[in-house]
Amino acid sequence: MKKKLKLLLTGLLINAGVFAQTTTLTVEEAIKLAIEKNFDVEIERNAQQIGIINNNWGVAGAWPNITINAATGLAKNNLEQQLANGTTIKRNGANLRNLNAGFAVNWRFFDGMRMFAAKKRLEELEKMGELSFRNQVNTTVFNIIGTYYQIVQLNQQAKALKETIRFFEERKQIAESRFTIGTAPKTDFLQAQVDLNQQKGNLLAIENNIRIAKANFNNLLGRKPETVFEVTDSISPDAAVNFTTLQTKAATDNYDLLMAQTNLSVLAQQKREITSQRLPAVTLNTNFNLNQNRNDAGFNLFTRNLGPNGNIGITIPLFQGGAVKAQEKVTDVQIKNQRVLIDRLQNQVNTSLINAYFNFQNALNLVELEKTTLKLIEENNMIATERFRKLAITSLELRQVQLDYINGQTRYINALFQAKLAEAEMKMLAGSLSNL
């Protein structure tokens, strides 16, 4: 029985280990999840649908209004009539029935071309919704890339610090042994212990930052913040990025710029709609009606009217109190201002792109420099540690070498991260990230 129980527990533990396996996300997988599940992306996707729904000729006012109506009623009256010849007619409880039904069409088939301007404006608004959605995707992808590689950066820092802590522990042990046997002062041991504790504290801080970054990352993916996952261990900036190509794309594909240009088109169509108020409007009204009355008392016992009627009317605006002119002037100013905003935005996009490129190139240069420096520091650390074991250098001298080692690793990892972040920023400004 005990053997069976042991086997059962072993099986349960194995299965638990299988189900507890942590998912490793690539940046591409994370981007795909974010586009599907990110809350802000979903909101913009729904807003885009509103623009698609509204873009039709009915909303633009091109189609007629068609109505059908019907009503019937019954009443009871007590009738008393006195005729000219002296005859009196009395009837109590006389029924009065009526029936009304109709079919009506009201169509303003010409409104000074307003409906065509309105339809064009709705098309531009639909385009604006699509651009806003793609811009949100572009921004979300940038945030995903930034947070993803922040986690990678922190993981690498934690890994490097764990390796370095081993050197600090060895130094502490040697210093403690030498103090015990009286060959080194107690200050060497105390300083070594303080340095070790500080590095362990730094590791705790990094591990906490990893937990926070992962929670934020899960939020970007639209899932519970406690969802467990891991990321890949490398940061690889694309050194082959072509600045000229990105600059050309930014001038034509930057989403903020495209939305500003689309908004200019919307204002132009609004101007057309306002101007159309100066022109005549032609309206067609037609209907087919049935009116029927039945009265059990009185001279007219039954009446029915049945048939169509219609008319065409024209409305010519002669004087509108200057309201239309004022609206036109206001819209002209808005159009002028929008052109200025576009010019400013073009300059801002180009400036941001150039700055991101400078940061990218600087980070790449730092990556190569820090990579070379780190090799030197690693070699120096190995030599210094060995010399410390042989009493060739002091504890303070080894301490400085170890601190240089930690700082060199941190600078190298940070340079990789900054290069990747600048690369992503350039692609975001060029409107390229949403295409992933």
Asked if 283 and 312 touch (Cβ cutoff 8 Å), the reply is yes
Contact 309, 283 (CB under 8 A): no
From the number of C-beta atoms within 10 Å of its C-beta (0-12, 13-18, 19+), residue 318 rates as: exposed
What is the Cα–Cα distance from 35 to 434, expressed in whole angstroms?
9
Q: Which residues pair with 107 in a beta bridge?
A: 284
Q: Enter the CATH code of domain 24-61+111-280+320-435.
A: 1.20.1600.10
Residue 203, H or E segment: helix 186-220
Instruction: Report the pLDDT averaged over residues 243-259.
Output: 94
pLDDT of 115 strictly over 90: no
| Neighbouring-strand partners of residue 110 | 282
The answer, yes or no, to whether residue 73 has pLDDT greater than 60, is yes
Beta bridge pairs of residue 304: 292
> Which pLDDT value is given to residue 19?
40
Q: What mean pLDDT value characterizes the chain?
A: 87
Q: Please say if the pLDDT value at position 20 is more than 70.
A: no
Name the most confidently modeled range: 24-33, 57-66, 201-210, 288-297.
Answer: 201-210
pLDDT at 6 (0 to 100):
47
Q: What are the residue ranges spanned by the domains of the chain?
A: 24-61+111-280+320-435, 79-110+282-315
The pLDDT tens digits of the residues spanning 323-373 come to 999 999 999 999 999 999 999 999 999 999 999 999 999 999 999 999 999
Range in 99-103, 292-296, 331-335 the model is least confident about:
292-296
Name the band, by pLDDT with cuts 50, 70 and 90, for residue 300.
low
Count CB-CB contacts under 10 A for residue 387: 15
Rounded CA-CA distance 110/240 in Å is 58
Q: Are strands 281-295 and 88-110 parallel, antiparallel or unpaired?
A: antiparallel
Q: Are 418 and 359 in contact (CB under 8 A)?
A: yes
Looking up tokens 């303080």 gives 194
pLDDT in tens, 200-233: 999 999 999 999 999 999 999 999 999 999 998 7
- Where is pLDDT greater, at 264 or 59? 264
Average pLDDT over residues 253-275: 94
- In this prediction, residue 298 carries a pLDDT of 59
CA gap 212, 214 in Å, rounded: 5
Q: Are 229 and 214 in contact (CB under 8 A)?
A: yes
In whole angstroms, what is the distance from residue 223 CA to residue 248 CA?
37
- What are 345's two structure tokens? 């935005």
Provide the pLDDT for residue 4: 46
> How many other C-beta atoms lie within 10 A of the C-beta of residue 96?
16
Handedness of CA 326, 331, 332, 334 (dihedral sign): positive
Which of the pair, 301 or 374, is modelled with greater confidence? 374
Q: What is the average pLDDT across 245-268?
A: 95
Distance of alpha carbon 114 from alpha carbon 122, whole angstroms:
12
Which of 28-37, 88-97, 123-132 shows the lowest per-residue confidence on average (mean pLDDT)?
88-97
Per-residue confidence (pLDDT) for residue 434, from 0 to 100: 62
